[in-house]
């Protein structure tokens, strides 16, 4: 399937990489796409490296294996770069998006010769600024949409707004903060 985009998420158990992949699937689903979001479970313990995946396409994808040659990689925890080969199989036409306050150039030497685009997003700062707490998934989701273009950006923001209005029906004050968080992350992703 030529139109398909494959994304691999790296995180630690409890940080929400699986949830982030589900949120991306939700966003892509709302924009009319076919989606897959699935976790890969190793030893289930808090803090252990975990992997989650997305396939996004215009037709239903019959493949149900893990993803070995992703178009994009999202790293929720930058300390994983020491222990996990996060760029394994990553397309040089794609990009890696790392949750960090550092500049992309600082990561290039750590990425085992990966020559594609390297992006960083300070999910902590953005999350704390707009949500008051550290929820890395919301800025990470926005950064992945911004960098990959896997979902139309205008459509994404519109769909997320209606999703938040539904989700926070009893706490409408949270809608604007979440939307600002998404917009800020899309603007502030570097690289």
Contact call for residue 63 and other proteins (CB under 8 A): yes
Task: Report if residue 64 touches other proteins, rule: CB under 8 A.
Answer: yes
What DSSP string describes 86-118? TTTT--TTSEEEEE-SS-HHHHGGGSTT--SEE
* Only segment of 32-40, 100-108, 120-128, 163-171 that touches other proteins (CB under 8 A): 32-40
Per rule CB under 8 A, is residue 26 in the interface with other proteins?
Answer: yes
Task: Report the nearest approach of other proteins to the CB of residue 50 (Å).
Answer: 12
In this complex, which beta carbon is closest to other proteins, that of residue 59 or of residue 106? 59
Q: CB under 8 A: which stretch of 27-35, 71-79, 98-106, 169-177 binds other proteins? A: 27-35
Q: Report the site for other proteins in 65-94 (rule: CB under 8 A).
A: 65-66, 68
> What is the spatial distance between Cα 126 and Cα 134, in angstroms, rounded to a whole number?
9
Number of CB atoms found within 10 A of residue 140's CB: 32
For 67, 90, 129, 168, the CA distances from 70, given in Å and listed in that order, are 6, 5, 31, 33
- Per CB under 8 A, does 45 bind other proteins? no
Nearer residue to other proteins within complex by CB, 66 or 101: 66
DSSP-based helix, strand, coil % in the chain, nearest 5: 40, 20, 40
Distances (CA, A) of 3 to 6, 32, 173: 10, 14, 38
Q: Cβ 186 to other proteins, closest distance in Å? A: 23
Candidates 15, 19, 31, 36; binder of other proteins (CB under 8 A) is 36
């Amino acid at each position: 399937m030529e139109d398909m985009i494959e994304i691999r998420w790296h995180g630690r158990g409890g940080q929400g990489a699986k949830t982030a992949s589900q949120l991306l699937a939700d966003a892509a689903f709302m924009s009319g796409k076919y989606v897959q979001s699935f976790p890969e479970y190793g030893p289930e313990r808090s803090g252990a490296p975990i992997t989650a995946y997305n396939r996004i396409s215009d037709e239903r994808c019959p493949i149900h294996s893990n993803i070995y040659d992703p178009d994009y990689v999202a790293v929720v925890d930058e300390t994983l770069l020491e222990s996990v080969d996060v760029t394994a199989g990553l397309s040089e036409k794609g990009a890696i998006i790392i949750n960090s306050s550092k500049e992309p150039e600082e990561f290039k030497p750590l990425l085992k010769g990966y020559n594609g685009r390297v992006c960083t997003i300070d999910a902590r700062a953005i999350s704390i600024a707009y949500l008051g707490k550290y929820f890395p998934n919301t800025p990470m989701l926005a950064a992945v949409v911004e960098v990959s273009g896997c979902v139309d950006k205008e459509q994404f923001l519109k769909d997320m707004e209606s999703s938040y209005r539904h989700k926070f029906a009893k706490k409408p004050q949270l809608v604007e903060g979440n939307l600002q968080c998404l917009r800020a992350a899309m603007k502030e992703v570097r690289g």
